[in-house]
Amino acid sequence: MRAFFAIAKREFFSYFVTPIGYVVTAVYVAITGIGFLASFIYYARISQSPAAYQYPGVPDFEETMLSPFLVFCGQVMIFLGPLITMRLLAEERHRGSMELLLSYPVRDAEIIFGKYVAALALLVVMMGGIFVHLCIVAWFATVEPAVLVLGVLAVFLMGAAFVSVGLFISALAKNPITSATTTFGAFFISYILGAVGKDLSEANPAPATWSDQARTIVGFFYRVFRRLVLDLPLDAHAQQMTQGVLQLEDIVYYGVLTAFFLFLTFRVFETRKWRTGV
């Protein structure tokens, strides 16, 4: 347990000894700040003349302003998440310090969870900006506290899932740049697929002239593909939660996704048994 804390502490402080921790936090706060301002101004305009924006009356604040803003905060992690996770394991290998780490009496779990928790801690620091925005909202508007708490939780869960995917890729990569690029690619492609997937119709795309069997097979694979495209993007399950609707399904989704990628990280870590080098 002490080894876990020592690794997490070292990793967390190394974010702030090298400038990366400050830079990522500053950029995240700036981007989410601009996002907050933009959605606030947009909502203010709508509420002044709803008719001009095709709204029957002043729209729901949570649905129109708060939820899109919080989902956006999570989506920004597509760009910044890879920078948090790229070094975690790839740099130890790249620099050669992994050899030393493995010669100490530590378990794989202490290394992997130590790194993971350090990245989560940085995520919490980054989310400090969002917290300030939500305090402003709570001060000026009448919003249920549950909505705010769930909103922050949703952003955190999205971030935690991003970090677990990034940690897994960092375990695979030989150096931080490949790690960051691959992670970014994975996030961005899944995001685009998700955006495209919203337009996919539910109907079976196979032509009616095909035999029933062919139509059933095509229909099955299409349904699987459509569900994957809709469900896999990490922001897919944040919508409801950011509006204050707590669904077990969404929590389970992020929990399972995070656990799955942590599990894969363990497996990758074990491949050193048959891989060349350390």
Token pair 């890879």 in the structure block, residue? 82
Tell me whether residue 106 or residue 251 sits nearer to other proteins (CB atom). Answer: 106
How many binding residues for other proteins (CB under 8 A)?
25
Closer CB to other proteins, residue 12 or residue 261? 12
Q: Provide the 8-state DSSP code for 50.
A: G
Among residues 22, 30, 37, 104, the one that binds other proteins under rule CB under 8 A:
104
Distance, CA of 162 to CA of 191 (rounded, Å) = 12
Q: Please pick, from the candidates 5, 53, 221, 225, the single residue that binds other proteins as defined by CB under 8 A.
A: 5
Residue 237 · residue 254 · CB < 8 Å: yes
**106 forms part of the interface with other proteins (CB under 8 A):** yes
**CB nearer other proteins, residue 2 or residue 198:** 2
- Which of these, 194, 186, 232, 192, lies nearest to 86 by C-alpha position? 186
22 binds other proteins (CB under 8 A): no
Question: What are the backbone dihedrals phi and psi of residue 76, each rounded to the nearest 5 degrees, phi first?
Answer: -60, -25
Q: Which amino acid is at 40?
A: F
**How many residues would you count in the chain?**
278
DSSP designation for 247: -
Is 97 a binding residue for other proteins by CB under 8 A? The answer is yes
269 binding other proteins? (CB under 8 A): no
Q: Are 114 and 3 in contact (CB under 8 A)?
A: yes
Which lies closer to other proteins via its Cβ, residue 170 or residue 182? 170
By C-alpha distance, which of 164, 187, 122 is closest to 255? 164
Cβ nearer to other proteins, comparing 89 with 147 = 89
Question: CB of residue 269 vs other proteins: minimum separation in angstroms?
Answer: 12
What's the closest the beta carbon of residue 111 comes to other proteins, in angstroms? 10
Residues that bind other proteins (CB under 8 A): 2-3, 5-7, 9-10, 14, 17-18, 95-97, 99-100, 102-107, 272-273, 276, 278
